[in-house]
Amino acid sequence: MKYFQDFLNSIPHKFTPEEEAVIKRAYEFAQKAHAGQKRKSGEDYFIHGREAAIILGKLFPDVPTLAATLLHDVPEDTEITLEEIEKQFGPEIARLIDGVTQLGHVRMKNGKDKFYMENLRKLFIATSQDIRVILIKLSDRMHNMRTLEFIPRDKQIRIAKETLEIYAPIAGRLGIGNWKDELEDLSFKVVFPKEYQKTKELLENEMASRQDSMKETQKNLVHILHAEGIKFQEITGRVKRLYSLHRKLQKYESDISKIHDFIALRIITKSTSDCYAALGSIHKHFQPVPGRIKDFIANPKPNGYQSIHTTVFGKAGKTFEIQIRTDLMHEEAERGVAAHWFYAEEGKPESSGRVQAKWFKELQSWQEEASSPEEFLESLKIDFFRDRIFVFTPKGDIKDLPQGSSAIDFAFAVHTDLGYHMMGAKINGKMRSIFDELQNEDVVEIIKIKKEAVISRDWLKAARTQNARNKIRHYLKEHDKGILERIKELKSFSLPRFFRKK
Ligand code: MN
């Protein structure tokens, strides 16, 4: 059991004896369940769950989540069922594992739509429901990415692409900078090996020419802040990550003179006012580059990131970015949504309810960026991911609809005109009634006619979305108006004429 002790020691958190007992039980259970299975690397299969749990534990040492991470591949890859796990470990842990298994089934279909990736990320989140499921899945993916070299090249590329397009943005959206950076760089190396090499060389060259100047600036900063009596905890240097450098170079057509943050110096303070005080004295002693001051404390980024950024001229005209933030902001920048769990104001863990609430807020801001204001308001109607189904167009685009939706909702969700001209629907390749309830992951093809469809009041009964209902009502109103007008016409012209004839 020396291994178990090593495992526990690699997680920087003090567990109670009861908590430790749960983790140990999960550890031994998973080890036994995977006994005899090997990974492609030749290691025991169990090592994967163990390593994933260490990755997770460093960020988020929550006991049920850790236990579920250790056990996450057991129901899929061994004889032991989820029911058995539930009997042994209770419903909470079982539910987390089930969520991870479900997520494993979310697959990329061959969509070319420009919102496809965005939709897929939403689908991914919706399927998991509990933020902890995503954290487990991300640590699972992190370990797989770290050990990618053992699998065939084509599979490596597929997994790395998926990581770059789905997993890394989700880590970023959750504000977990550490995970996003590592996932990106690991994938970058596999998906774009040439660009990776080029970017790496470029960065190394830049570093060589900046290092001395940076060290001196760092020393000067310490002196200046001390002399002015500004309290700070530490000043560290950070080198730009390769993938983010690559993206920036693409944006500026490889003009490296536009890149100001190859190296950044980070000042960590105790309080927000110290941040602004530090900024003031830095600008007194170093010439700032105009237009490069960004106050993300007053205006946090959508994922909650807070910091002040400024760029100054150092020695020999070399520029440096300086980032100033409090220790709490720093904690959040690295650990994102997970930081709240363990670092609430008095150092007490926040309730999972609070964390979940913040998580929903994050999702909503994501929604806000991605869709129209109407859709966003619609999404605010609580529970916006529970009770929803995801339906595919034949091209692989995803529409999310409330549970109980029909092909009518789907048609109006795709395009208003499609709704007004629909005459039938193929669901998973078979002709079905447009009134039938759709199921999650159905592929729906709307059959349309050239002229306007005849819409009856029955359509209202089968429509769940506000969007479809409004459009149907509009049609019915216009239609009724048409009939009324025709009756009026008949009355005012035909009837009198008829009488006149008489
Ligand atoms: Mn796994």
Mean pLDDT, consecutive 10-residue segments, the chain of 502 residues? 86 91 96 92 92 93 93 94 96 91 65 54 61 89 94 90 84 84 96 94 87 84 90 88 91 81 89 92 88 86 83 79 92 75 45 50 49 36 48 77 89 91 92 90 88 86 85 85 68 45 38
44 CA distance to ligand 1 centroid (A)? 13
136 CA distance to ligand 1 centroid (A)? 9
The per-residue pLDDT for 361 is: 54
Q: Where in the chain is the domain with CATH 3.30.460.10?
A: 194-378
The per-residue pLDDT for 388 is: 65
**Domain 194-378 -> CATH class:** alpha beta
Out of 1.10.3210.10, 1.10.10.10, 3.30.565.10, 1.20.1330.10, the CATH code matching 2-189 is 1.10.3210.10
User: Could you give the CA distance from residue 368 to residue 175 in angstroms, rounded to a whole number?
Assistant: 17
Which CATH code for domain 388-489? 3.10.20.30
Distance in Å from the first CA to the final CA of the chain: 109
For 21-77, the DSSP string reads HHHHHHHHHHHHHTTT-B-TTSSBTHHHHHHHHHHHHHH---HHHHHHHHHTTHHHH
103 CA distance to ligand 1 centroid (A)? 11
53 CA distance to ligand 1 centroid (A)? 10
- The residues carrying an active-site annotation are 76-77
| φ, ψ for residue 37, nearest 5 deg | -85, 145
Q: Where in the chain is the domain with CATH 1.10.3210.10?
A: 2-189
The per-residue pLDDT for 450 is: 85
Q: Where in the chain is the domain with CATH 3.10.20.30?
A: 388-489
Query: From the CB of residue 283, how many other CB atoms can be counted at a distance below 10 Å?
Result: 14
The per-residue pLDDT for 107 is: 55
Question: Coil, strand or helix: which one is 398?
Answer: strand
Strand stretches in 359-482, DSSP E: 388-392, 398-402, 422-427, 430-432, 444-448
The per-residue pLDDT for 169 is: 80
